[in-house]
Structure 1
Amino acid sequence: MMQHHGLTDQQRDLICQHRKYCLSCAKHINSPEKLDVTEIATATSRHAGRSAALPYADGLPRV
């Protein structure tokens, strides 16, 4: 769970209640097909590696 620094117990309780309310209102997505997220995961990991600006021996990121 996220930490809320500098908040009172009452404020934290209100945030928790609001979060539970929002989650109860969210509708589940029924998809007849299994979602293929491998393309998204690959693009995300490549972007994370590039944005980290890590030095590479040959100057090129590993793919």
Structure 2
Amino acid sequence: MASYKATVKIEREGELTLHSIPFHPGEEVQVTVETKRAVPANEDRFPLRGSPYRFDNPFEPAISPEDWDALK
């Protein structure tokens, strides 16, 4: 299935117009309409950037080997 993406602005209530689309008359197409979400200026896009982190023992297993069902 060929894909065509366009960003348009709704001019009239409930109407959407696409111009110069690369499809032929009579060709069936599937249409999905999504709102374009803009990131508000006051919203931090990377909330964890700069936050402190540490690994006490990064090579230690998350659970003890005795608790592994695969080893039984």
Place the TM-score, normalised by the shorter chain, in its bin. Answer: under 0.3
**Which structure has the higher relative contact order (CA within 8 Å, separation 6+)?**
1
TM-score by length of 1: 0.25
CA radius of gyration, larger in: 2
TM-score by length of 2: 0.24
Please state which structure has a larger fraction of its residues in helix: 1
